[in-house]
Chain A
Amino acid sequence: MTPKTAMTPKTIEPNRRRESGIDYKDVDYLSRFIGPQGQILSRRRSGFTAQRQKDLKQAIKRARHLALMPFVG
């Protein structure tokens, strides 16, 4: 049986001081949390809390709707 190892989050320096919600207009900030093919990074990769990850998802989807960010690529 393999020993259990602590899972270390691969954070991308999330701005933890941001108390306000994530803004869909802040494309430069949002683009740090999407992968090379445009997918939203997981919580493990982003290092966000559950609530903040939901806010991130909502903001990215809004930015995609307005063609500020791509769906793919």
Chain B
Amino acid sequence: MSNLYEGMFVLDNKVVRQGWRAAKAIVTGILAKHEANTITARRWDERRLAYSIKGRGRATYMICYFELAKDAGPALNRSLELNDAVLRYLITRVDAVPATEAELASREESDDFVVPAPPVEDSPTPVAAAEPEPEAESKPKLEEAEAEIAEEAAPAETLEPVAAAATPEPAVEAVATEEPKTEEGA
């Protein structure tokens, strides 16, 4: 017994740049491995992601309708999660394939169809360029901190003898006043 599913796959643009057919074959190959009957598979869109996934700002979406056995779901999920080309996926159960889907998929299969190459990745700030700036700033900060510690340590030494000289006197007095009481009690 099998069910009809709709799968939306978010593919890495690095893989798509090497060829759409090859990228598509990755997903359809995984489906075939788990004995799924692929009805339609086509490129849905290439767009900017609402938030970055694995450092990618843009990705290509692929939509696929397929029939799969009920028991094969977890194994398929595991295969998709282990594949680096698939950034995200969503598999939902549907009642029927949309009417326009077959036409759109067949259009992609024709020789005239050309998949536009994904634009250059405009990822957020490069990590390598951001690192040197804190390093350059950190050295003077360390020197300043060491100098401050040295300044703080010097006056503390001068204060210690004064404090030590001031405190013993009252302590001796207190002991002197308490000692006779203890002797009287004993």
Contact = CB atoms under 8 A, between A and B. Distances in A.
Interface of A: 24-25, 62, 64-71
A25 B50 contact: no
Contact of B10 (A25, A62, A64, A66): A66
A42 to B, nearest CB: 22
B53 interface: yes
Interface string B83-103: 000001010100000000000
Given A65-B88, A65-B90, A66-B88, 4 more contacts: A24-B90, A66-B61, A67-B53, A68-B50
B4 interface: no
Majority secondary structure, A binding face: loop
Name the residue among A67, A69, A70, A71 with the largest chain B CB count within 10 angstroms: A67
B15 interface: no
Interface in B41-71: 44, 47, 49-51, 53, 59, 61, 63
A34 to B, nearest CB: 11
B90 A67 contact: no
A69 B90 CA distance: 14
Given A62-B90, A62-B92, A67 B49 contact: yes
B86 to A, nearest CB: 12
26 contacts: A24-B90, A25-B8, A25-B44, A25-B63, A62-B90, A62-B92, A64-B50, A65-B88, A65-B90, A66-B10, A66-B61, A66-B88, A66-B90, A67-B10, A67-B49, A67-B50, A67-B51, A67-B53, A67-B59, A67-B88, A68-B47, A69-B50, A70-B50, A70-B51, A71-B50, A71-B51
